[in-house]
Structure 1
């Protein structure tokens, strides 16, 4: 528009103003976008899990990280994600274990400890619950 004369610029501006209401999913440059506190918290939790899944994470650890009390956190997480934090954490760890079972030739017990589980029988139970087979069966099928 900078090469247009005044009348052409005014005409272009009016055309733009007519088009703007029609664009549902556009963002105006420079427009203030309010931060979504819920999404920020969920992002903090996801990043915390990704960075710490290999170690023993307690509910108190994540609650401290997010800055909420335990009861409020559990309610918030369950309503937002649709599952408990421990279920979410275990699913993430099982996903990591599946990647290792496909790619690495390391023992299942090493994988168990590497993805943050501290008890091999518990790891096997959780794995079977989520995948429908044991880790060794999963490895053979891959």
Structure 2
């Protein structure tokens, strides 16, 4: 499923800027948000999905993702630094920011007038990438007001640059949304029992192999992992809001063995079901 993703809201800021250095598994899975995303890879390499396109990326790459386009940056674990981290700079801003600034500041309006904003994702070429990398690096060392001034310089560069290549176009996602809703509805109705891959694939009219590939692409996890996650989430709610014994909850959410349930729950939550209940009731 394409995950609606809300960028962290930063009080008293008109756009989101982050210098991110994290382990690869913490990077967002397939998602979308209502903001332009300008992304500069400092350290790491892997595969980027933007809309309908998969492309390899590497350190130094700069890409622009339009609002509402689903995308993800999947880093190769072998590309991390000595601390096991990848590193990037990212600035995200609503289209309304661009429109309002053009209304208020004629200097910016003159640079962007008659511009047709891109609907496709773009990867910038060598010269534009060099300029944008320098601008983002300078902004990273600035205070909030300096970054705002940097944005005024940055916007004409990213929207007027002829030095770019195609990196993805929007997908027609209505069918995917319907399929995923159908899958989720089926899981909600049958999670207490074993759900085989053949059953769920037949439910949405796909063969088993195609379903596995499709689900992994959309959700970033296997169907089995998804069902387990749903069962554990349901168990957490029962632990918080019911008086059922742990063994009862185990079977009520589709696990067939209490020790296995306890082990899987602790791997997911970091504590046992009994400890979870004590902390949340």
TM-score tier (shorter): 0.7 to 0.9
Tell me how far apart the structure 2 counterparts of residues 49 and 125 of structure 1 sit (CA, whole Å). Answer: 22
User: Please, which of 66, 70, 95 is the counterpart of residue 208 of structure 2?
Assistant: 70
How far is the alpha carbon of 1:56 from its aligned partner? Answer: 1.9
The ranges of structure 1 where at least 4 consecutive aligned residues each deviate by more than 4 angstroms after the TM superposition are: none
- Please, what TM-score do these two structures have when normalized by structure 1? 0.72
In the TM superposition, what are the counterparts of 1:39-78 in structure 2 within 5 Å?
A: 39-78=177-216
**What residue is the counterpart of 2:278 in the other structure?**
140
Query: Where does the alignment leave 5 or more consecutive residues of structure 2 unmatched?
Result: 1-171
The two structures, once aligned, show a CA RMSD in angstroms of 1.4
Tell me how far apart the structure 2 counterparts of residues 74 and 53 of structure 1 sit (CA, whole Å). Answer: 18
Tell me how far apart the structure 2 counterparts of residues 59 and 123 of structure 1 sit (CA, whole Å). Answer: 21
Tell me how far apart the structure 2 counterparts of residues 113 and 44 of structure 1 sit (CA, whole Å). Answer: 24
Q: After superposition, give the CA deviation of every residue in 1:52-80 in whole Å (9 maximum; x if it has no partner).
A: 11222222221121111111111000000
Q: Secondary structure at the match of 1:57?
A: coil
Q: After superposition, give the CA deviation of every residue in 1:59-105 in whole Å (9 maximum; x if it has no partner).
A: 22211211111111110000001111111111110010000000111
Query: Where does the alignment leave 5 or more consecutive residues of structure 1 unmatched?
Result: 1-33
User: Please, which of 104, 108, 113 is the counterpart of residue 251 of structure 2?
Assistant: 113
Question: Are 1:96 and 1:115, in contact at CA under 8 Å, matched by a contact in 2?
Answer: yes
Q: Secondary structure at the match of 2:254?
A: coil
Question: Are 1:59 and 1:70, in contact at CA under 8 Å, matched by a contact in 2?
Answer: yes
How far is the alpha carbon of 1:35 from its aligned partner? Answer: 7.4
Answering whether residue 233 of structure 2 is matched by residue 95 of structure 1, we say yes
User: Please, which of 110, 124, 129 is the counterpart of residue 262 of structure 2?
Assistant: 124
Tell me how far apart the structure 1 counterparts of residues 216 and 249 of structure 2 sit (CA, whole Å). Answer: 28
Number of positions where the alignment pairs a residue of Structure 1 with one of Structure 2:
109
Question: Are 1:56 and 1:118, in contact at CA under 8 Å, matched by a contact in 2?
Answer: no
How far is the alpha carbon of 1:36 from its aligned partner? Answer: 1.8
